[in-house]
Amino acid sequence: MKVTLKDGSVKEYEGSKSVYEIASDISQGLARVACAGMIDGEVVDLRTVIEQDCELSILTPTDEEGLRTIRHTASHVLAEAVKRVFPDAKLAIGPAIDTGFYYDIDHAPFTREDLDTLEKEMKKIIKEDEKITKFELPREEAIKLMEEKNEPYKVELIQDLPEDAVISFYQQGEEFIDLCAGPHLMSTKGIKAYKLISSSMAYWRGDSDKAQLQRIYGTAFNKKEELADYLVYLEEIKKRDHNKLGREMELFTTVDVIGQGLPLLLPKGTKMVMKLQRWIEDLEDREWGYVRTKTPLMAKSDLYRISGHWDHYKEGMFVLGDEEVDKEVFALRPMTCPFQYYVYKNTQKSYRDLPYRMGETSTLFRNEDSGEMHGLTRVRQFTISEGHNVVRPDQAEEELQNCLNLAVYVLTTLGLQDDVTFRLSKWDPNNREKYLGDESYWETTQEALRNILVEKGLPFKEADGEAAFYGPKIDIQARNVYGKEDTMITIQLDCAIAENFDMYYIDQNGEKKRPYIIHRTSLGCYERTLAWLIEKYAGKFPTWLCPEQVRILPISDKYAEYAEEVKQELARNGVDVTVDHRSEKIGFKIRDARLNRLPYMLVVGEKEASDRTVSVRSRYAGDEGIEAVDSFVDRICKEIRTKEIRKEEVTEENK
């Protein structure tokens, strides 16, 4: 048997060998740090036996999958600690994730003190150097084992597997056994640095109709220094958490009696959303050829039956009325597309009228699970830059490219272009009832979107089961400060729905033809975008987006009149400006303006009033010196007009 190693060298063995045995044969040092193996590109357990020629890599903590194996083992150590400290707790699942690991547990909520206790117990388990072994059982024996251990969630997982499945388990030491496919370390001693971060509620299998569990999040690294750096990083990102920072900056709030997922945008947050909205509307209408519509916030169930949403999306809608009792049942709209189809149908269109691009600032309503609500990123009422482009089939490719170009332009202007990833969201062929159209339809439309991404040169991932029920999507994804991914902008190709609404255009031969429809956003959800901007800039927004762009600071009341004159000049030119008339020392006013993350402060005193100047201090460069009022007005107006993202210079003032 020939085993080709990562460096190209070849090892020959007469009989079969496990990955761990080969690592030991290479060097004992490698065996000590080995976490897993990769055979012909597939990650495997160290216990995996090799019986034929292959390519093999020994994965260590410096490899992504090696570190993931450490974290997966840490999740099992946590589970064992839970069973030691809280014997009545029931275990659900405990995978490794990008930032560490978690374990879902049926138990009362865990306090910080509980997590500290579990950490100490984990330390004992690691110090005991429990050997980790793997064994397999037939399905029925596996069920019996987990029933004997009184682990109902494990039993349910096994029962969902085929009857002829062979089930794998890992055992730590003498007592702890967990259902798992692996891979895992050879011993608990391989965990060098770990920390339990937090706990929260989670639904079993993500279903709000199922049991509420407690999810303990943790992380693990190979070195204590790496863990320490990560914990410092966590403290830093907490400062950027939009749910915390947005409230501190008085951008938004929530109120229990109003309801979960229904945030209140406060005046400053409202001002920012207004700026974004006006920009997007002007951009779409004046530069990208959109017509603007305004459609109702609700409709009869009849409309949603035609569109298919009643059959495919009803559970996510707010329904007003009872179908069995009321003559008419209404629902708040979860999307605008069926409304805009009737705008298109209002007048007959010819092939010359296409593409027909409809844009709307749409307020939508979606009945999200209560466990999913979070700040501005997951809400039940939100506003979106929604649009639907009705195109001839021969125009679809170019129009899809235009929609993607617009989205990239918007991201670039906001300074967010480097913070996104692209995803081709496809149907799930194993769940055909969820979707319109046949296999050929989906393969054709998915290939069209794939080609757009390839031609644009954008790296992307493909995801089954993430498409809309009527067509595939290009989803532009971003992660929040905690690593959770959300869809920010979406572009969807729909070649089926026009039939439902009898939408057509007259071609050059005078015949009726069905158009294609592109569902798209240019910015996406304004609330989610505001959250994204808060975290991206830590509240230090580009000047054009700031709700307060300039604050004028008179040194004393004697210069209040001049401060008001400067304010009026700036306000006439569209700058958001205030005057700080408080009877405080100028140093206090400057510090307060800096704490409020203001782009510009203009200090005015005797010299400035007599010379018609201002003393400019900025968030970007600290003290910028004396400048004529007209000159500063011209400069800031250009910065706002061009939407410049000015970089901060490191000075003693703004370190």
Whether the CA torsion 322, 326, 332, 336 is positive or negative: it is positive
CA-wise closest residue to 71 among 194, 251, 187: 194
Has 337 been labeled as part of a binding site?
A: yes
Do the beta carbons of residue 90 and residue 153 sit within 8 Å?
yes
In this structure, what token pair is assigned to residue 136?
A: 């397999």
Place of tokens 């203009």: 602
Has 374 been labeled as part of a binding site?
A: no
**DSSP state letters, 227-277:** HHHHHHHHHHHHHH-HHHHHHHTTSEE--TTT-TT-PEEPHHHHHHHHHHH
Has 309 been labeled as part of a binding site?
A: no
What single letter denotes the amino acid at residue 607?
A: K
Question: From CA 214, how far away is CA 415, in angstroms rounded?
Answer: 37
Do the beta carbons of residue 595 and residue 539 sit within 8 Å?
no
Q: How many CA atoms lie within 13 A of 23 on its CB side?
A: 24
Question: From CA 474, how far away is CA 454, in angstroms rounded?
Answer: 12
Question: From CA 511, how far away is CA 498, in angstroms rounded?
Answer: 16
CA-wise closest residue to 529 among 284, 273, 278: 273
Q: Can you list the alpha helix ranges (DSSP code H) found in 293-423?
A: 301-307, 309-312, 337-345, 396-414
CA-wise closest residue to 526 among 242, 280, 191: 280
Distance in Å from the first CA to the final CA of the chain: 61
Strand partners, 201: 214
Nearest 10 degrees: CA dihedral of 118, 120, 124, 125?
30
- 3-state class percentages of the chain: helix first, strand second, coil last, to nearest 5: 40, 30, 30
3-state secondary structure of 575: coil
**How far from the centroid of its chain's Cα atoms is residue 200's Cα?**
18
Whether the CA torsion 335, 338, 342, 343 is positive or negative: it is positive
Q: How far is CA 311 from CA 69, 304, 502, 516, 625, in A?
A: 42, 8, 19, 22, 65
Strand bridging mode 10-12 / 2-5: antiparallel
What single letter denotes the amino acid at residue 314?
A: K
Q: What is the DSSP letter of 370?
A: G
3-state secondary structure of 604: strand
Query: What are the backbone angles phi and psi of residue 382, rounded to the nearest 5°?
Result: -150, 165
Strand partners, 101: 96, 218
* Annotated binding residues: 337, 388, 519
* Annotated binding residues for Zn(2+): 337, 388, 519
